A and B are shown apart, each in its own frame.
Chain A
Amino acid sequence: MAYSELIKNFSRIRDYMREFYLYGFKSRGEYTQKSARSYDNERRRIESILDGYMRFRQTPEGRNVFLSIDSRKVPHNPLYKAWKAGSFTDGDITLHFLLFDILYAPEVALTLQEITEAVDRKLAVFEEPRVFDESTVRKKLKEYAAEGLLIMEKKGKSVRYRRSEAAQLPGRDVLDFFSETAPCGVIGSFLLDKMEAHPGHFAFKHHYITSSMDSEILCALFLGIREKREVTLETIHRPDGQTHVLKAVPLQIMVSVQSGRQYLMAAADHRQRIRSFRLDNILSVSPGEVCGEYDTLRGNLERMRQHIWGVSTHSFSGARMEHVDFTVHFGPDEEHIFRRLEREKRCGTVERISEDTARFSADVYDASEMIPWIRTFICRLTELHFSDPQLQEHFLHDLQEMAEMYGVEGGEDA
């Protein structure tokens, strides 16, 4: 098939964009084990769609392609463009513009036959006019009605179609902001496309744009949550590429603004356990039956949240609950450290022990999730206790290894 810039299946480009944006160290040879042509086509598509963000580096293994984007410098997420590259047929686009021209105002209501005849009349000016039969037009009208673009009105035996009422859009600043910060922000970007282009007045720090590649999955999960439905998830275990299919009741989306990851919290394993699924590891979501015990499950998650540090609901040690506490020391001009503990404590507790010392403690399902955060206090940790001795040893061992790595090991200062 001839190359086209447009994308039929988003999942493939989702994988390539993730590879180019997150990793970017693989050479062509590492991608082309399955199909060299497929790689070349996807690379060319991404290069065209994300013109200006592609970078190349020559290595002994070949030419590496990667996407380099400083998201603080761009007012709009460039990855949204991929969502605007969906393929269509010549008939689709022709019919699209003709239908909305025929149904140009909400007051205009016509039958299928009237619409088909009007289409024919408009096309009659061409040398070789396209012919759309009634069944093709009906299919498109029904598709647009399902998307909410048209309204079907039944009167007796006849069905009339008219366009939906226009909805008022909020100001451009509102859309600029929420298209970058709200879940499924790409939909806000679609709305911005309806307005005159402008540079925007917002910038975004600590802005993770990769999650936008999971918008379709997120949207399907929201529909499940709103309708209180069980869903079937197809997931992938990235290290070995194994896929799994399971049923789960989607309860809440958890977002980490410090790692850019999004998770689904869902009741899985015959609804016996609430656990997390990374959105970028979900390949597809299919709706199932409405779940009668939905509110109970959601209530369970709400109660559990007071002991969830990140998203994990079980520990490696097997203990139902793990305890962590540590103390930090700070100088007279370092009151900001105490404030840091207060603002970052999440479900933990902070107590001031003395003028220059504070203790943090928490009881959580999985204390290993806290280790990266505790490490950010390296240089002022005076005491540390994990209820799981293995975690304690692991933390201290890593600390020792870091000290050795930077020449600060044992005895006197190096």
Chain B
Amino acid sequence: MTVFSELYSAYYNAVADILKKASDHPVTQKEIRETAQKAAFSESMLSIVPALTEERWQVLRKDGRTVLDHDPTMPLTLLQKRWLKAIFLDPRIRLFEDQLPEAPDVEPLFTPEDVAVVDRYADGDPYEDAQYRAHFRLILNALNMNYPLQIDYTSGKGKHARLILMPRRLEYSEKDDKFRLIGEDSRRTCVINVGRIVSVRPYAGQLEWYAAGKEQDRAEVVLEVVDQRNALERVLMHFAHFEKEAEKLDDLHYRVTIRYDRDDETEMVIRILSFGPLVHVTGPDSFVHLIRERLMLQKHCGLI
């Protein structure tokens, strides 16, 4: 039972797609090429097309018809069933539906007790709460069916607010253990913590939505890392989820440029501070100022 197996290969999937088409009509070389390109990798058609047309993979005849009598299908592997069984034990599964499909009759690959997250924040969303689940499901339905929502929620400052928006995506943070709804109202991109929603309902009126997909306000920070105490690896791992570039300056020093959403600036400041003196912010000046300001405040508190 291995993860790395040709059974899950993009090539097998591409050939299955081609054979499905071939059971309907004789497939052309162009169709084979296009299907391979879509289901596999950028160079895959260079291998898949000749392998099929030269009859090295003997599943397609020269005339583009398949030798199969049925659409190609494969049952789930034991590994897939065990993984499914494991996720059915995750409390977050109840967010999606109360009536889950019957769990496969196998041992789970892992149980919630086999995995511990050491540094997740303790104030995550209340997945067990029936009202929270109802809000989550309606939002997901709106995303699937593409309709706007009217949302009443409590703002970060504890005030009641209302928004009418077109939902675009649900963003989950494993660190915060929270979902946030991202959407557009008529003027801007809006972000609401799902846990702060008081009520949500479909909105029947007509509005013009703010241009969807507009890039978030992006910012950049440049760090110089001294590779002592394994700092380089720790920094690159820690900031791995951002778009970034690393350059070697000399045997000990590296420059790392990280691009992030400007809304997350405070979080970036404290994350960089956590590395201590082995990470030095060199730009932009406004970011250097934010670090310096914290150190000045610390000086007033003592310890420096």
Q: List residues of chain A with CB under 8 Å of any chain B CB.
A: 4-7, 10, 21-26, 47-49, 51, 55, 57, 59, 66, 68-72, 75, 81, 83-88, 90, 92-94, 96-98, 100-101, 104, 122-123, 125-130, 146-149, 163-171, 173-174, 177-178, 181-184, 186-188, 190-191, 193, 201-210, 215-216, 219, 222-223, 225-226, 238, 252-261, 305, 308-311, 329, 339, 342-346, 371-373, 375-376, 378-384, 396, 398-403, 405-410, 413
Contacts and interface: CB of A to CB of B under 8 A. Distances in A.
A344 B122 contact: yes
Contacts of B128: none
B129 interface: no
Contacts of A257: 117, 119-120, 174-175
B67 A402 contact: no
B67 A122 contact: yes
A402 B76 CA distance: 55
Interface string B46-85: 1100010001111101000001111011111111110110
Given A169-B101, A201-B143, A261-B237, 11 more contacts: A49-B41, A70-B243, A90-B56, A147-B5, A149-B74, A177-B92, A187-B79, A205-B171, A210-B240, A376-B271, A378-B295
Contact of A83 (B8, B42, B173, B301): B8
Which of B81, B83, B114, B270 gathers most chain A CB within 10 Å? B83
Interface in B234-276: 234, 236-238, 240-248, 254, 259, 261, 270-271, 273-276
B291 interface: yes
A34 B206 CA distance: 64
A150 B159 CA distance: 59
Contacts of A193: 8, 10, 13
A85 B291 contact: no
A84 B242 contact: no
Question: 8 closest pairs, A vs B, by CB?
Answer: A148-B78, A379-B294, A88-B6, A168-B101, A372-B274, A401-B277, A379-B297, A70-B243
A260 B75 contact: no
B144 interface: yes
B169 A201 contact: yes
Most buried by B among A23, A84, A193, A407: A84
Main secondary structure of the interface of B (DSSP, over half): mixed
B175 to A, nearest CB: 4
Given A204-B171, A329-B301, A147 B6 contact: no
A326 B300 CA distance: 16
A215 B110 CA distance: 13
A373 B274 CA distance: 6
Contacts of A165: 75
A356 to B, nearest CB: 12
Contacts of B238: 258-260
